[in-house]
A and B are shown apart, each in its own frame.
Chain A
Amino acid sequence: MSSREDILESIRRNTRMRYEKPDYAQLEEEAVKYPDLLARFKEVMPQMGGRAVVLQKGEDVNKVIKGLYPNAVRIAATMKEVRCGEGMQPVTCATFHPDDVRCSGDLDGTDLAIIQGRVGVCENGAVWIQQDVEQRAVYFIAEALVILLDRHNLVSNMHEAYRQIDTGEYGYGVFISGPSKTADIEQALVLGAHGARDVTVILV
């Protein structure tokens, strides 16, 4: 018999009482909800070590990014333009597309990556990134990350977020909440363990 059959047989032999699947509905109903999602998201991001910036009417997203990261030279962007309110704005401050590199290791040394967020979660500052380029390394290897997120795509909690997310054709997605961090040396919090040292979510 294969190990697979052995294991399944052992599970069936040893399983005693079978418990029913619980219904999440009531818990999801009573889960924390924020009346002002935008205000809450701005408040929670610094707690996670990042920042949230709301793009004002008529403001150029490229100017905002350049203002936040004046020293960034090698800038990747996964999109050519971004929807801001009613209109589209071109993303012109980037110097290359992440899939232009020969291999993922060539992305090392990227100062800033501008990527698309899909859903923002107000209870914890997590933003869902659905892989939309072949080199997903760009989400992690860049020194700093700008996540562009439609301000209408904010939800209160993870229950709501999981109803909206998908992993798309690449079959990968990640919630990112603030910069990479560690406290492995004497519990001192240090930003920038392996991923981005600095994260800004721009709510467009």
Chain B
Amino acid sequence: MSTRHSKAAELFLKDKDLAAWHDETLWMVRAKRDNQSKQLPEWEHLRDMACAIKMYSNSHLDQLLLEFEKNALANGAHVYWAKDAEEYCSIVYNILHGHNVRHFIKSKSMLAEECGLNEFLEEKGIEVVESDLGERILQLMHKKPSHIVMPAIHIKKEEIGELFVKEMNTEPGNNDQTYLTHAARKNLRHKFIEAEAAMTGANFAVASTGECVVCTNEGNADMGTSQPKLQITAFGMEKIVPDRGSLGVFTRLLARSGTGQAITTYTSHYRKPRPGGELHIIIVDNGRSRILADKEHVKTLNCLRCGACMNTCPVYRRSGGYSYTYFIPGPIGINLGMLKAPLHYYDNVSACSLCHSCQNVCPAKVDLADQIYRWRQKLEDLGVASTSKKAMSGGMKFLMERPGLFGFALKNAPIANSLPRWMMYNDLNDWGKEHEMPKFARESFNEMWKKKKV
């Protein structure tokens, strides 16, 4: 019954203190989200509206992308279309190469992660510097993000302190978060100034104005794009929104849902290139248009990448981002991975208790848990259903269909209560792993009912 997820989760849980901290910290972020949402009586209407706007925009992508392109060109930007990861990487490289860029500063972009941009550029000799603090820490450690909004949530400050001694000449043993953050501020300041080009993703691309909107707390997207005069912005096509009126809806939901803040510190609107500069915009498909035809999973395209579904997920909180095999973890990652390559990423669909919490906090109402349930029904057809789970379900079905046998089994179940631990907690019983077995009651509800005790 073990999946690659459950095996990796076992590793994560070995460090009990870190695992407990991870669980509690993300739950705290979820509580902050609740606090924000409760301050707005119209909260649920905002979520309904966000969902309705996304359903509209994702079913009118052809029209809205053309409207965006027309306006972006009129604003003086260059617009490119990339079918897949390779084309996206090549376009970025060609722009940089054509301008002799050697130093390239980037703000966080999940699209760049998805397409392997950094590796592509570094192989071709371009130095890529991540400017989001969490991403920079991971880049220097040669690690990947474990959360889409809090990428370094799994790293302890002691490790960062050690890293910065080596990379930024900080005092050995000083692991104070403020000290380390300000050391990175100073170090990256030079990187911003020496860069010849800057790149950002986009949280929203507005069709009616041709502008791209980027939300950050650190100000790294703006530090980058206000130094070198060459700016590249790339977004997955589902980031398109119709107009500024819709930004009113999304900017109220994004940070409240993701980090429990009323808004991010910076919400930047890039419409034109800087005087004497250039703005290059890349619209990326990479499998998204194919999802439009899948009516059971098309709502994944509503996702704002806020991370709320991860913060609330009891499995994610207790297993960490690295236990998932797709680069986006948590409920949304389970679904996006299955849409990308089901035979490659099916292990993740078991990383869900179907508690539906994700779908109840999602600001754009992606039906995350329902989709995971539907994927599970398809495992048999994909030929990857777990044989032990199938045997167990078969056994349960056999028992449930025979009331006499079921009654007999239930009556004798309390025997298990007094069995020695080694008989209950071993490799044969998957339910006994990291889990205390429930005590069987002496009397079943059925018996109590008959005796009129309840």
Contacts and interface: CB of A to CB of B under 8 A. Distances in A.
B363 to A, nearest CB: 14
A193 to B, nearest CB: 4
A175 B153 CA distance: 27
A12 B62 contact: yes
A18 B29 CA distance: 36
Interface in B72-123: 75-76, 81-83, 87
A177 B264 contact: yes
A15 B55 CA distance: 11
Contact of A27 (B49, B261, B272, B285): B49
Interface string A172-201: 111111111111111110101111100000
Given A8-B65, A172-B272, A184 B266 contact: no
Interface bracket on B: 35 or more
B415 interface: no
Given A162-B248, A195-B265, A140 B226 contact: yes
Contacts of A14: 289-293
Contacts of B247: 158, 162
B193 A105 contact: yes
Contacts of A161: 248
Contacts of B75: 171
Given A14-B290, A184-B134, A137 B226 contact: yes
Interface residues of A, number: 77
The residue among A31, A163, A171, A187 with the most chain B CB atoms within 10 A of its own CB is A171
A70 B442 CA distance: 76
A57 interface: no
B218 A188 contact: no
A44 interface: yes
B249 A167 contact: no
Contacts of B42: 27, 30-32
B389 interface: no
A69 interface: no
Interface in B49-78: 49, 52-53, 55-56, 59-62, 65-66, 75-76
A50 to B, nearest CB: 9
Given A8-B66, A10-B289, A181 B133 contact: no
A52 B295 CA distance: 49
A20 interface: yes
A2 interface: yes
A13 B49 CA distance: 27
A2 B81 contact: yes
A154 to B, nearest CB: 15
A163 B275 CA distance: 26
Interface in A133-185: 134-137, 139-141, 157-159, 161-163, 165, 167, 170-185
A183 to B, nearest CB: 7
Contacts of A134: 274-275
A193 B181 contact: yes
A48 B266 CA distance: 12
B265 A179 contact: yes
Given A172-B271, A192-B182, A125 B87 contact: no
Contact of B262 (A8, A104, A124): A124
Contact of A183 (B56, B150, B249): B150
Interface string B19-34: 0000001001100000
A181 B217 contact: yes
B267 A174 contact: yes
B40 interface: yes
A19 B150 contact: no
A44 B133 CA distance: 26
Contact of A195 (B87, B222, B283): B222
Contacts of A190: 177-178, 181-182
Contacts of A123: 40, 252, 262
Contacts of A163: 245
B344 interface: no
B315 interface: no
A43 to B, nearest CB: 12
A142 B354 CA distance: 48
21 contacts: A3-B81, A7-B289, A11-B65, A11-B237, A14-B290, A14-B291, A15-B61, A24-B245, A27-B49, A31-B40, A140-B219, A159-B245, A174-B269, A180-B218, A180-B219, A181-B218, A182-B133, A182-B134, A182-B217, A195-B222, A195-B266
Interface of A: 2-4, 6-8, 10-22, 24, 26-28, 30-32, 44, 47-48, 104-105, 108, 121, 123-126, 134-137, 139-141, 157-159, 161-163, 165, 167, 170-188, 190, 192-196
